[in-house]
Amino acid sequence: MKDTRIYVGLDVHKDTIAVCWVSEDGATEETREIANEPRAVRKLFHQLAAVGAPRACYEAGPCGYEVRRQLEALGIACEVVAPSLIPRRPGDHVKTDRRDARKLARLYRAGELTVIRVPTRQEEAARDLVRCREDLGEDVTRLRHRLGKFLLRHGRIWRERSRWSARHWSWLRAQRFDDPIAQRTFEEYLAQLDHGVDRLRALDGEIVALAQQAPWAPLVARLRCLRGLDTLSALTLLVELQDFHRFRSPRELMSFVGLTPSLYASGGREVRGSITKAGNAHARRIFVEAAWHYRHRPMQAGRLRTRAAGQPEPIRAEALRAQHRLHRRFRHLVGRGKPHQVAVVAVARELVGFVWALLVKHEALEAGAA
């Protein structure tokens, strides 16, 4: 009896977990709700383990991977599935936690769920730090806008081109208002921005230090050979996409970050639309931002040459080949009348292939040569 596999679906929320388990033959099915507490989870799965071999799954979401790690510590197999790839019935308009748990258990038994790779604690911590920096960068941008709009309402306009340069900051700090309330408002906006910029610089320093540690250092150094990718963007790709070897080809990685065109094919008619924007939005943003750099003519000088110093010749050659190919691709698409934004997205898709080559193909070649 204990060899009988039991499939368990968990609908995890902050306070509660809806649980449904189904026997391997589908003859037994039971649903209940427990508290989202380690003791309650442990008690339930000890009961299930007494009558069979439970295997659990739940959707990736805001509650993270703690339930999965707790079950793994108990010796219970637990997988986290992609919510966007769960099959859904078009006519099913009733949604409850128990129904969700039941659907997960049944689909898990049928093998219809797509499992995601769960990051290690080290990978998750690094990813959270990089995302924290991204959020802080957005906050600083908002603070700059608030200060700029306040000054604009009072007719204080910076006429030169280089905003947020040393001269611009000196101009900002020299502003004075006759009205004491307006002066207090300006000082508060400026103090908030000063504090935000200081925090951003401190976080940038911590991220640079993290990128110089194992296991990130050699991979970051390799990606920095590519135009448009420096320490922060390279580390962002690594912590967001984690193990690149799980993608068997560049096309799989392109699809994962949502840079492949959508497709509708039916009755002999095939229509390709805009990119799917599926998968990891953080990585997709990095690829698109980096792709803008390839509108410039290829060159290997200055900071790019410094970043490539010390890397093996095949890596530098691949990075230079990327410059030539992606620049030609951008010019070709723009020459055909495509908008710059469309051309950049196409370049970003091909840039994914070069990143995959640097991290997977060349690593395999180096291992074979050794």
pLDDT in tens, 103-129: 999 999 999 999 999 999 999 999 999
Q: Rounded CA gap, 275 and 333, in Å? A: 16
pLDDT at 63 over 70: yes
Helices (H), the chain: 38-49, 66-73, 97-110, 121-153, 166-173, 180-211, 217-223, 231-241, 250-256, 281-291, 302-308, 313-335, 340-356, 362-369
Task: Say whether 349 sits in a helix, a strand or coil.
Answer: helix
Strand order in the sheet with 5-12: 29-35, 16-23, 5-12, 53-59, 77-81
Instruction: Express as a percent the part of the chain with pLDDT over 70.
Output: 97
Query: Which tokens sit at 36?
Result: 């989202």
Per-residue pLDDT of 312-341, as tens digits, reads: 999 999 999 999 999 999 999 999 999 999
Sign of CA dihedral 306, 312, 318, 320: positive
Task: Say whether 258 sits in a helix, a strand or coil.
Answer: coil
Query: Which tokens sit at 145?
Result: 């806008």
Q: Which residues pair with 12 in a beta bridge?
A: 17
Which pLDDT score is estimated for 363?
A: 73
Q: Rounded CA gap, 172 and 89, in Å? A: 58
Which has the minimum average pLDDT: 11-25, 111-125, 161-175, 351-365? 351-365
Question: Locate tokens 């599935």: which residue?
Answer: 81
CB 350 within 8 A of CB 329: yes
Which pLDDT score is estimated for 192?
A: 98
Crossing angle, helix 281-291 and helix 340-356, to 10 degrees? 110
What's the angle, vertex CA 305, arms to CA 300 and CA 308, rounded to 5? 115
pLDDT at 369 over 90: no
pLDDT at 69 over 80: yes
pLDDT at 365 over 80: no
Query: Which tokens sit at 78?
Result: 């637990």
pLDDT at 178 over 90: yes
Q: Rounded CA gap, 46 and 66, in Å? A: 18
The rounded mean pLDDT for the chain is 93
